[in-house]
Structure 1
Protein backbone atom coordinates (compact mmCIF):
# COMPACT_ATOMS: atom_id res chain seq x y z
CA UNK A 1 0.00 0.00 0.00
CA UNK A 2 1.10 3.55 -0.71
CA UNK A 3 0.50 7.02 0.70
CA UNK A 4 -2.99 8.30 -0.27
CA UNK A 5 -4.40 4.78 -0.73
CA UNK A 6 -7.87 4.31 0.77
CA UNK A 7 -8.21 1.07 2.72
CA UNK A 8 -10.49 -0.55 5.26
CA UNK A 9 -8.54 -1.25 8.44
CA UNK A 10 -9.09 -3.36 11.55
CA UNK A 11 -7.10 -1.80 14.36
CA UNK A 12 -6.52 -0.98 18.01
CA UNK A 13 -4.41 1.85 19.39
CA UNK A 14 -3.33 1.09 22.96
CA UNK A 15 -1.62 3.21 25.61
CA UNK A 16 1.50 1.19 26.39
CA UNK A 17 1.64 2.51 29.96
CA UNK A 18 -1.96 2.03 31.10
CA UNK A 19 -3.07 -0.62 28.57
CA UNK A 20 -6.08 1.60 27.81
CA UNK A 21 -7.56 1.24 24.32
CA UNK A 22 -7.39 4.77 22.93
CA UNK A 23 -9.17 4.02 19.66
CA UNK A 24 -10.46 0.97 17.87
CA UNK A 25 -12.13 0.02 14.61
CA UNK A 26 -14.69 -1.95 16.63
CA UNK A 27 -16.96 1.11 16.41
CA UNK A 28 -17.11 0.65 12.64
CA UNK A 29 -19.45 -1.50 10.61
CA UNK A 30 -18.12 -5.06 10.61
CA UNK A 31 -15.33 -4.05 12.97
CA UNK A 32 -13.41 -2.10 10.33
CA UNK A 33 -13.09 1.58 9.46
CA UNK A 34 -11.95 3.31 6.28
CA UNK A 35 -8.56 4.98 6.49
CA UNK A 36 -6.93 7.28 3.96
CA UNK A 37 -3.17 6.85 4.24
CA UNK A 38 -2.66 10.59 4.53
CA UNK A 39 0.57 11.71 6.18
CA UNK A 40 -1.12 14.81 7.64
CA UNK A 41 -4.11 13.19 9.39
CA UNK A 42 -3.39 9.44 9.53
CA UNK A 43 0.34 9.35 10.16
CA UNK A 44 0.07 6.41 12.59
CA UNK A 45 -1.49 4.24 9.91
CA UNK A 46 0.95 5.45 7.26
CA UNK A 47 3.82 4.43 9.54
CA UNK A 48 2.23 1.04 10.17
CA UNK A 49 0.88 0.09 6.76
CA UNK A 50 2.85 1.90 4.04
CA UNK A 51 4.58 -0.58 1.70
CA UNK A 52 2.78 -3.53 3.34
CA UNK A 53 0.49 -5.74 1.19
CA UNK A 54 -3.23 -5.84 1.91
CA UNK A 55 -3.95 -8.49 4.54
CA UNK A 56 -0.71 -7.98 6.48
CA UNK A 57 -0.99 -7.77 10.26
CA UNK A 58 1.29 -5.14 11.75
CA UNK A 59 2.30 -4.20 15.30
CA UNK A 60 3.93 -0.80 15.67
CA UNK A 61 5.33 0.75 18.84
CA UNK A 62 5.67 4.52 18.95
CA UNK A 63 7.38 6.62 21.62
CA UNK A 64 5.27 9.25 23.31
CA UNK A 65 7.74 11.90 22.19
CA UNK A 66 6.49 11.38 18.63
CA UNK A 67 2.94 12.17 19.71
CA UNK A 68 3.44 15.33 21.72
CA UNK A 69 4.79 16.56 25.02
CA UNK A 70 3.76 14.39 27.95
CA UNK A 71 2.22 11.64 25.81
CA UNK A 72 2.70 7.99 26.72
CA UNK A 73 4.12 5.40 24.37
CA UNK A 74 1.47 3.71 22.22
CA UNK A 75 1.16 0.39 20.42
CA UNK A 76 -0.77 0.15 17.15
CA UNK A 77 -2.22 -3.19 16.05
CA UNK A 78 -3.45 -2.90 12.46
CA UNK A 79 -4.52 -4.96 9.47
CA UNK A 80 -5.49 -3.50 6.12
CA UNK A 81 -8.45 -5.66 5.12
CA UNK A 82 -9.32 -4.31 1.68
CA UNK A 83 -8.32 -1.56 -0.73
CA UNK A 84 -11.36 0.67 -1.32
CA UNK A 85 -12.52 2.37 -4.56
CA UNK A 86 -11.38 5.93 -5.18
CA UNK A 87 -14.31 6.90 -7.43
CA UNK A 88 -18.06 6.69 -6.86
CA UNK A 89 -19.36 3.16 -7.41
CA UNK A 90 -23.13 3.61 -7.11
CA UNK A 91 -25.95 3.38 -9.64
CA UNK A 92 -26.33 6.26 -12.14
CA UNK A 93 -29.36 8.51 -11.60
CA UNK A 94 -31.20 10.52 -14.27
CA UNK A 95 -29.91 14.12 -14.46
CA UNK A 96 -31.85 16.84 -12.64
CA UNK A 97 -33.17 19.53 -15.05
CA UNK A 98 -31.45 22.90 -14.70
CA UNK A 99 -28.32 21.54 -13.05
CA UNK A 100 -24.89 21.66 -14.71
CA UNK A 101 -24.00 18.71 -16.94
CA UNK A 102 -21.27 16.34 -15.77
CA UNK A 103 -19.24 14.03 -17.97
CA UNK A 104 -16.58 11.55 -16.83
CA UNK A 105 -13.40 10.44 -18.55
CA UNK A 106 -12.16 6.84 -18.54
CA UNK A 107 -10.58 7.32 -15.10
CA UNK A 108 -13.76 8.78 -13.58
CA UNK A 109 -12.48 12.36 -13.57
CA UNK A 110 -15.42 14.75 -14.05
CA UNK A 111 -15.83 17.83 -16.18
CA UNK A 112 -18.67 20.32 -15.74
CA UNK A 113 -20.67 22.29 -18.30
CA UNK A 114 -22.53 25.28 -16.84
CA UNK A 115 -26.06 25.74 -18.23
CA UNK A 116 -27.40 28.96 -19.72
CA UNK A 117 -29.12 31.24 -17.23
CA UNK A 118 -28.59 33.09 -14.00
CA UNK A 119 -26.51 31.82 -11.13
CA UNK A 120 -28.41 30.13 -8.29
CA UNK A 121 -29.90 32.15 -5.46
CA UNK A 122 -30.03 29.15 -3.11
CA UNK A 123 -28.02 25.97 -2.72
CA UNK A 124 -29.23 22.97 -4.69
CA UNK A 125 -27.93 19.40 -4.48
CA UNK A 126 -28.57 16.58 -6.96
CA UNK A 127 -27.46 12.94 -6.85
CA UNK A 128 -25.68 11.76 -10.02
CA UNK A 129 -24.78 8.28 -8.78
CA UNK A 130 -26.61 6.65 -5.87
CA UNK A 131 -24.39 4.71 -3.49
CA UNK A 132 -25.49 2.17 -0.89
CA UNK A 133 -22.82 2.61 1.77
CA UNK A 134 -23.00 4.26 5.20
CA UNK A 135 -24.72 7.64 5.50
CA UNK A 136 -22.58 10.72 6.11
CA UNK A 137 -23.46 12.36 9.42
CA UNK A 138 -22.79 15.87 10.68
CA UNK A 139 -19.16 16.25 11.71
CA UNK A 140 -18.08 12.96 10.12
CA UNK A 141 -14.59 12.63 8.70
CA UNK A 142 -15.17 12.06 4.99
CA UNK A 143 -12.93 10.99 2.13
CA UNK A 144 -13.88 12.42 -1.26
CA UNK A 145 -12.78 13.20 -4.77
CA UNK A 146 -14.05 16.59 -5.93
CA UNK A 147 -13.95 19.22 -8.64
CA UNK A 148 -14.95 22.84 -8.03
CA UNK A 149 -15.66 25.40 -10.77
CA UNK A 150 -17.05 28.92 -10.89
CA UNK A 151 -20.58 29.34 -12.25
CA UNK A 152 -19.58 32.59 -13.96
CA UNK A 153 -17.10 31.07 -16.42
CA UNK A 154 -16.80 27.35 -15.65
CA UNK A 155 -13.16 27.80 -14.62
CA UNK A 156 -11.73 25.24 -12.18
CA UNK A 157 -10.56 26.73 -8.88
CA UNK A 158 -9.96 23.58 -6.82
CA UNK A 159 -9.85 19.85 -7.48
CA UNK A 160 -8.51 16.71 -5.84
CA UNK A 161 -8.15 15.32 -9.37
CA UNK A 162 -5.52 17.97 -10.10
CA UNK A 163 -3.37 16.74 -7.21
CA UNK A 164 -2.38 13.36 -8.67
CA UNK A 165 -6.03 12.26 -8.28
CA UNK A 166 -5.36 11.77 -4.56
CA UNK A 167 -8.56 11.78 -2.45
CA UNK A 168 -9.07 14.51 0.13
CA UNK A 169 -10.08 14.01 3.76
CA UNK A 170 -11.80 16.49 6.08
CA UNK A 171 -14.69 16.92 8.52
CA UNK A 172 -18.02 17.96 7.04
CA UNK A 173 -18.07 20.89 9.47
CA UNK A 174 -14.71 22.14 8.17
CA UNK A 175 -15.88 23.20 4.70
CA UNK A 176 -18.13 25.94 3.30
CA UNK A 177 -21.84 25.58 4.08
CA UNK A 178 -22.84 24.56 0.56
CA UNK A 179 -20.29 21.75 0.48
CA UNK A 180 -21.44 20.55 3.92
CA UNK A 181 -25.06 20.47 2.67
CA UNK A 182 -23.95 18.37 -0.28
CA UNK A 183 -22.28 15.74 1.92
CA UNK A 184 -24.42 15.23 4.98
CA UNK A 185 -27.23 12.71 4.54
CA UNK A 186 -25.67 11.16 1.43
CA UNK A 187 -24.46 7.56 1.19
CA UNK A 188 -20.91 6.41 0.53
CA UNK A 189 -20.50 5.41 -3.11
CA UNK A 190 -22.59 8.35 -4.30
CA UNK A 191 -21.57 11.13 -6.64
CA UNK A 192 -23.37 14.43 -6.07
CA UNK A 193 -23.37 17.86 -7.66
CA UNK A 194 -24.01 21.03 -5.68
CA UNK A 195 -24.53 24.60 -6.89
CA UNK A 196 -24.34 27.36 -4.30
CA UNK A 197 -24.59 31.16 -4.15
CA UNK A 198 -21.81 33.17 -2.48
CA UNK A 199 -23.70 33.13 0.83
CA UNK A 200 -23.08 29.37 1.12
CA UNK A 201 -19.58 29.63 -0.36
CA UNK A 202 -17.01 32.31 0.44
CA UNK A 203 -19.37 35.29 0.64
CA UNK A 204 -18.43 36.06 4.23
CA UNK A 205 -14.68 35.84 3.56
CA UNK A 206 -13.79 39.48 2.97
CA UNK A 207 -11.24 39.84 0.21
CA UNK A 208 -11.36 36.17 -0.84
CA UNK A 209 -10.96 35.73 -4.60
CA UNK A 210 -14.20 33.69 -4.64
CA UNK A 211 -16.16 36.00 -2.33
CA UNK A 212 -18.65 37.06 -5.03
CA UNK A 213 -18.69 33.80 -7.00
CA UNK A 214 -21.43 31.18 -7.20
CA UNK A 215 -19.76 27.78 -7.08
CA UNK A 216 -20.34 24.28 -8.46
CA UNK A 217 -18.82 21.11 -7.00
CA UNK A 218 -18.99 17.52 -8.19
CA UNK A 219 -18.14 15.18 -5.30
CA UNK A 220 -17.48 11.44 -5.18
CA UNK A 221 -18.17 10.30 -1.60
CA UNK A 222 -15.70 7.48 -0.89
CA UNK A 223 -15.80 6.94 2.88
CA UNK A 224 -17.16 8.35 6.11
CA UNK A 225 -16.17 7.90 9.74
CA UNK A 226 -17.82 9.41 12.81
CA UNK A 227 -15.19 11.41 14.68
CA UNK A 228 -14.24 9.71 17.92
CA UNK A 229 -15.76 11.43 20.94
Structure 2
Protein backbone atom coordinates (compact mmCIF):
# COMPACT_ATOMS: atom_id res chain seq x y z
CA UNK A 1 0.00 0.00 0.00
CA UNK A 2 1.24 3.47 -0.85
CA UNK A 3 2.11 5.56 2.19
CA UNK A 4 -0.73 8.02 2.59
CA UNK A 5 -0.26 11.59 3.70
CA UNK A 6 -2.70 14.05 5.22
CA UNK A 7 -5.13 15.08 2.49
CA UNK A 8 -5.87 18.60 1.41
CA UNK A 9 -9.45 19.53 0.66
CA UNK A 10 -10.14 22.07 -2.04
CA UNK A 11 -12.61 24.74 -1.01
CA UNK A 12 -16.01 23.73 -2.44
CA UNK A 13 -17.93 25.88 -4.86
CA UNK A 14 -21.67 26.18 -5.18
CA UNK A 15 -24.33 25.42 -2.63
CA UNK A 16 -24.01 22.69 -0.04
CA UNK A 17 -25.60 19.41 -1.20
CA UNK A 18 -28.91 18.26 0.25
CA UNK A 19 -27.86 14.60 0.18
CA UNK A 20 -24.72 12.63 0.94
CA UNK A 21 -22.05 12.88 -1.76
CA UNK A 22 -19.54 10.04 -2.04
CA UNK A 23 -16.41 10.40 -4.16
CA UNK A 24 -13.67 7.78 -4.36
CA UNK A 25 -10.26 9.43 -4.61
CA UNK A 26 -8.30 6.16 -4.41
CA UNK A 27 -9.92 2.75 -4.91
CA UNK A 28 -8.62 0.27 -2.36
CA UNK A 29 -7.92 -3.37 -3.08
CA UNK A 30 -8.17 -4.82 0.42
CA UNK A 31 -11.03 -6.09 2.55
CA UNK A 32 -14.37 -4.36 2.06
CA UNK A 33 -16.11 -2.45 4.84
CA UNK A 34 -19.69 -3.43 5.63
CA UNK A 35 -22.34 -1.79 7.80
CA UNK A 36 -21.32 -4.10 10.68
CA UNK A 37 -17.57 -3.51 10.37
CA UNK A 38 -15.26 -1.97 12.88
CA UNK A 39 -13.13 0.41 10.84
CA UNK A 40 -9.60 1.69 11.33
CA UNK A 41 -9.37 5.06 9.58
CA UNK A 42 -7.36 8.20 9.19
CA UNK A 43 -9.57 11.17 8.41
CA UNK A 44 -9.71 14.91 7.96
CA UNK A 45 -12.89 16.90 8.53
CA UNK A 46 -13.60 20.45 7.38
CA UNK A 47 -16.68 22.64 7.37
CA UNK A 48 -18.26 23.07 3.92
CA UNK A 49 -19.03 26.77 4.44
CA UNK A 50 -15.82 27.76 6.26
CA UNK A 51 -13.24 25.37 4.82
CA UNK A 52 -11.82 25.25 8.37
CA UNK A 53 -10.49 21.97 9.75
CA UNK A 54 -12.51 20.91 12.80
CA UNK A 55 -11.05 17.47 13.38
CA UNK A 56 -8.28 15.28 12.05
CA UNK A 57 -6.77 11.99 13.12
CA UNK A 58 -3.69 13.12 11.18
CA UNK A 59 -3.24 16.04 13.58
CA UNK A 60 -3.32 13.62 16.53
CA UNK A 61 -0.80 11.34 14.83
CA UNK A 62 -2.89 8.17 15.08
CA UNK A 63 -5.79 6.55 13.33
CA UNK A 64 -9.11 5.83 15.04
CA UNK A 65 -10.79 2.46 15.35
CA UNK A 66 -14.58 2.42 15.82
CA UNK A 67 -17.59 0.24 15.09
CA UNK A 68 -19.17 1.92 12.07
CA UNK A 69 -22.60 1.79 13.72
CA UNK A 70 -21.31 4.19 16.44
CA UNK A 71 -20.39 6.94 13.96
CA UNK A 72 -22.47 9.65 12.29
CA UNK A 73 -25.06 8.49 9.75
CA UNK A 74 -23.06 9.94 6.85
CA UNK A 75 -20.19 7.58 7.71
CA UNK A 76 -22.56 4.64 8.29
CA UNK A 77 -23.89 5.12 4.75
CA UNK A 78 -20.74 6.41 3.06
CA UNK A 79 -18.09 3.91 4.19
CA UNK A 80 -19.65 0.48 3.44
CA UNK A 81 -18.39 -0.77 0.08
CA UNK A 82 -15.08 1.02 0.55
CA UNK A 83 -12.00 -1.24 0.47
CA UNK A 84 -8.88 -1.13 2.63
CA UNK A 85 -6.28 1.05 0.98
CA UNK A 86 -8.93 3.42 -0.36
CA UNK A 87 -9.42 7.13 0.17
CA UNK A 88 -12.95 8.48 -0.03
CA UNK A 89 -14.41 11.97 0.25
CA UNK A 90 -17.80 12.31 1.93
CA UNK A 91 -19.78 15.55 1.82
CA UNK A 92 -22.30 15.13 4.63
CA UNK A 93 -25.38 17.37 5.04
CA UNK A 94 -26.47 18.26 8.61
CA UNK A 95 -29.26 15.64 8.81
CA UNK A 96 -26.62 12.90 8.29
CA UNK A 97 -24.03 14.55 10.56
CA UNK A 98 -24.86 16.32 13.82
CA UNK A 99 -28.42 17.44 13.10
CA UNK A 100 -29.98 20.85 12.60
CA UNK A 101 -28.59 24.02 14.12
CA UNK A 102 -29.34 24.46 17.80
CA UNK A 103 -29.21 20.79 18.82
CA UNK A 104 -26.30 21.36 21.19
CA UNK A 105 -23.40 19.97 19.16
CA UNK A 106 -20.85 22.58 18.00
CA UNK A 107 -21.12 21.21 14.43
CA UNK A 108 -24.92 21.00 14.30
CA UNK A 109 -26.45 22.72 11.30
CA UNK A 110 -23.27 22.40 9.26
CA UNK A 111 -22.50 20.47 6.09
CA UNK A 112 -19.21 18.65 6.67
CA UNK A 113 -16.56 17.30 4.32
CA UNK A 114 -14.48 14.29 5.35
CA UNK A 115 -11.61 12.63 3.54
CA UNK A 116 -11.30 9.12 4.94
CA UNK A 117 -8.48 6.64 4.45
CA UNK A 118 -9.59 3.09 5.23
CA UNK A 119 -6.66 1.34 6.92
CA UNK A 120 -8.41 -1.79 8.16
CA UNK A 121 -11.73 -3.53 8.82
CA UNK A 122 -12.73 -6.21 11.28
* TM-score over 0.5 for the pair: yes
Whether 1:132 aligns to 2:29 is yes
Structure 1 counterpart SS, 2:59:
coil
Aligned residue pairs: how many?
121
- Structure 2 unaligned regions, length at least 5: none
Greater Cα offset, 141-150 or 196-205: 196-205
Whether 1:203 aligns to 2:85 is no
Q: In 1, distance between residues paired with 2:87 and 2:41?
A: 9
Residue by residue over 1:166-204, the C-alpha shift from the partner in whole angstroms, topping out at 9 and shown as x without a partner, is 111001101101112221111111000000110000016
Higher strand share: 1
| TM-score of the pair, normalised by structure 2 | 0.92
The aligned residue for residue 15 of structure 1 is: none
- Structure 1 unaligned regions, length at least 5: 1-84, 90-105
Q: After superposition, where does 1:1-229 map in structure 2 within 5 Å?
A: 89=2, 108-164=5-61, 166-203=62-99, 206-225=103-122
Q: In 1, distance between residues paired with 2:8 and 2:27?
A: 19
| CA root-mean-square deviation | 1.6
User: Could you say which structure has the greater relative contact order, defined with CA pairs below 8 angstroms and 6 or more residues apart?
Assistant: 2
Structure 2 counterpart SS, 1:110:
coil
| TM-score of the pair, normalised by structure 1 | 0.50
Residue by residue over 1:86-130, the C-alpha shift from the partner in whole angstroms, topping out at 9 and shown as x without a partner, is xxx4xxxxxxxxxxxxxxxx9611111122211111001010001
Q: Which runs of 4+ in 1 moved over 4 A?
A: none
